[in-house]
Amino acid sequence: MEISAGQLAEMVNGVVDGDPSVTVNTFAKIEEGHPGAISFLANPKYTHFIYSSRSSVILVSSDFVAEQPVSATLIRVADPYATVAHLMSMVDKMMRPVRRGVEQPSFVAEGVTVPDDAYVGAFAYVGPGAVIGRGAQIYPQAYVGDGAVVGENTVIYAGAKIYPGCRVGNRCIIHSGAVIGADGFGFAPEGEGYSKIPQMGIVVIEDDVEIGANTTVDRATMGATRVRKGVKLDNLIQIAHNCEVGEHTVMASQSGVAGSAKIGSHCMIGGQVGIAGHLTVGDNVQIGAQSGIPNSVPSGRRLMGTPAIDFAAFARTQVFLKRLPDLFNDVASLKKAAGQNKK
């Protein structure tokens, strides 16, 4: 499907700077642009690419000032990154195949109703007492356990597992290999070994949550592990039993949250972050990659390092660390000089 720059500008409330009749039919990164593609410039680090990009149309911020001639037609918008995300979402919805019905072979337990506009793929399993919402998409080899709930227009991709009793809200996306509701890591010392503590709770995933491939959210020992609405979890994340992840918090890959930790809303957590159990992270907290969080964190903090400290303090320590070899040599020289003076 081709669309002109002028039509695009109307769709995104933008202003055309250049030829409004030029057409595009695909997306491309600004550094890999080609005729017929639309790109965007949101990060100043990529500004130099705009002068050589071969893309036909480039989304830029309203206040962008070109320092050299630009061959592409520009569309000026308030937020180029959000705008291109919106456009890609629209195209994705138009191009994504709409699947309906129950493919065979698959298993849908007796008494479970699959709405007419929902889909259950081949080799999927839907257990007794499960509830499937309207428009839900359960892809091949997915597992929906006994009494589990899959909300309206939620997508469960191939090989994902929703354990018995767990609840997934509306408009969620659960990617392949994700496991919702496996047992929490609960063991009590007994003699020379450990006795398993039964995990009797569930997992509750609220609306508009996306959970990445091979991410695990463990069921609660008692009660519920909760992932609040709008949360986005990357691939390969571990959320332990009885945790709570607040609304619209985002977390990057390979992070782990230990049992009973409570994370606030609108937090941004980088990759490979470790959060200890039984603590609270406030709202609007930002945690840099590879940080360790051993204690509770008040709202609004920006942290990095292990153990994590304020970002500004961490940046200063990195400057000092680079100077340690010189400092070591200086101290060695002073000690040598002091020794010679004693003689």
d(CA 255, CA 312): 22
Whether 266 is catalytic is no
Q: 318 by DSSP, 3-state: which?
A: helix
Indicate the helix (H) or strand (E) that contains 84.
helix 80-95
d(CA 7, CA 178): 40
Q: Which of 34, 241, 248, 266 is catalytic?
A: 241
**By the 8 A CB rule, do 287 and 273 touch?**
yes
Cα distances (Å, whole numbers) of residue 103 to 99, 130, 139, 141: 10, 18, 10, 11
Query: Smallest Cα–Cα separation from 174: which of 150, 194, 145?
Result: 150
| Pairing between β-strand 37-40 and β-strand 15-17 as defined by DSSP bridges | unpaired
Q: 31 by DSSP, 3-state: which?
A: helix
| Pairing between β-strand 262-263 and β-strand 280-281 as defined by DSSP bridges | parallel
d(CA 143, CA 161): 5
**By the 8 A CB rule, do 21 and 3 touch?**
no
d(CA 166, CA 57): 45
Query: Smallest Cα–Cα separation from 151: which of 123, 122, 184, 180?
Result: 180
What are the strands, taking DSSP E only, across 235-313? 238-239, 244-245, 250-251, 256-257, 262-263, 268-269, 274-275, 280-281, 286-287, 292-293, 302-304, 309-310
**Buried b vs exposed e over 146-159: b needs ≥16 C-beta within 10 Å?**
ebbbbbbbbbbbbb
Q: Which residues are catalytic?
A: 241
